[in-house]
Amino acid sequence: MSIFEYDREWEEELLRKEEFEAGRDTERKNTEKERMNAEKERRRADSEKMRADSEKLRADHAERELLLLKEKLALMENK
């Protein structure tokens, strides 16, 4: 066989390796994107939970203030 002859098996092996590498790179990129999306979703959920907790605290404080004002009003009416 001369150096100018076409080696089909060698060429096919090279193609398989290149396709494998390309697939692995694509999978790696997809996995990284999925990981980033999951992290964004987790942060969004955490942010929503913090917002809901904050709103609940404000509502609790407002309710306590209202009860205190009602108690003061009742005391003033009894005088």
Tell the burial category of 68 from Cβ atoms under 10 Å away from its Cβ (0-12, 13-18, 19+).
Answer: exposed
- The pLDDT value recorded for residue 50 is 93
Q: Could you report the per-residue pLDDT of 10-33, keeping only the tens digit for each?
A: 888 999 999 999 999 899 888 989
**Any idea which of 52-56, 62-66, 74-78 has the lowest mean pLDDT?**
74-78
User: What ranges do the domains of the chain cover?
Assistant: 8-79
Q: What are the residue ranges of helices labelled H in the chain?
A: 8-78
Of residues 62 and 78, more confidently modeled: 62
